[in-house]
Structure 1
């Protein structure tokens, strides 16, 4: 196996390990942030009453629940059983099951619409994932995806900046994201990736919003093991973990509103295409 292949396999294994224990902490912290683009995501996929919809990487089921509320017939999948427990609570009408990109247990052309909210940035082979999403989409059906944009606004990087200021270091056994993932953080490159996957009319736009949250809830994400920063924090010695919290509190003053809540600027890409 090539070095590239080894890195991709290691990245995918890291993603599975990270999310295997963080469903509850994710639901209490980052899930509300990720819910912001959901209405626009469903609009981009033309989700309407009676549509058959696949929600890939459903997480806590926010997208699945919103699609069900539109009268769609929803199938939702995730790679983490803990997330599926949360999704079943949020969207009891949906058919919720375990599945991991880039392999899905559905026949060709099974769905009118396929959606994925902040999913493709967690998959080591985005080109293979897109090919699989296209496969399960019916001819004429629509695909819509969100990913985080680069460069990220300062509110979006608040936690990472706190870690850096505290001297947090990345252990050698935590692989870096594969180079291919850079394409899903840039709008032009992402559109080109959709076209390469055989999807028609690739389109997209940049979404910007301020996420309103408390300091405790935002710190609770990495403290609870959520995403890469949660894994990174877990690997730090106690003095660095304590320093990261102090730096977070210091840097957070830049975003604190009059009532004490944080207003954190974020940016994401919303892309869509047709099979």
Structure 2
């Protein structure tokens, strides 16, 4: 079995465009609050860790920040460059950040700490890259994450498909509670001061076709649970999905998916 980080790299490899066209829109919701927590503004040297398709990098650049961004997946960096042409980009994987200590006024990570094998070391690396007095902010999914993943999970189960037994699992010694206290504890253990953590809840609206498209392309663990099977099984999952969609749809037929996350910040 691949270790957690290797498995994550495999899951995301070659799926940047599929992510852009589906779940990236969900993740974009927290970008303004994340940048507010980091104090992003004109002239601020900001590092966006795990930039994905560059949503946060572009939003920070629009605020006048001097943005550097990193991601592990080359395809993500290619799309991020298009979204944020003013930013600088490098390929890197937490907790190995290729920057001198104190290089940035603020470091942010939008739904990245969920996807690393060493969460505590990753937050510590973010702090190390931040100048004394600078800000670190991150979002993670909490449990349950949201209705969209519930919908897809129910479709998989309704089709009689078992979740993959070999799905990547975090080493118990590295895991932490996906709660306000758990995420705040990571920040405090990393040496950050004035730590705060708050829940964020919102309704994500998407067409049934768009939401299914992310899963059908194998984006994320939920997508992997769909695409690891043959066409006949995928067809059964899709039929179950279509049958469940009305439970999650608004009056216009689009899905209205309630999501929950946590936003933590602290001072280096």
Q: TM-score range by the shorter chain?
A: over 0.9
Matched, 1:88 2:81: yes
Q: Give unmatched runs, 5+ long, in structure 1.
A: 1-6
Alpha carbons 2:54, 2:80 under 8 Å: kept: yes
1:207-226 pair list within 5 angstroms: 207-226=200-219
Task: Give the C-alpha shift of residue 184 in structure 1.
Answer: 5.7
Task: Give the C-alpha shift of residue 31 in structure 1.
Answer: 0.7
Report Cα offsets for 1:191-248 as digits up to 9, x if no partner: 1111111111110111111000000100000111211122222222333211211111
TM-score normalised per structure 2: 0.95
Matched, 1:99 2:99: no
Q: Give unmatched runs, 5+ long, in structure 2.
A: none
Residue 75 of structure 1 corresponds to 68
Residue 179 of structure 1 corresponds to 172
Report Cα offsets for 1:153-189 as digits up to 9, x if no partner: 4344211221122122234443334336652621111
TM-score normalised per structure 1: 0.93
CA-based RMSD of the aligned residues comes to 1.5
Match of 1:119 among 112, 119, 128: 112
Match of 1:189 among 182, 191, 208: 182
Structure 2: how far apart are the matches of 1:66 and 1:184?
Answer: 29
Structure 1: how far apart are the matches of 2:238 and 2:108?
Answer: 35
Report Cα offsets for 1:66-124 as digits up to 9, x if no partner: 00000000000000000000000000000011011110100000000000000000001
Change (3 A) 1:170 1:155: closer
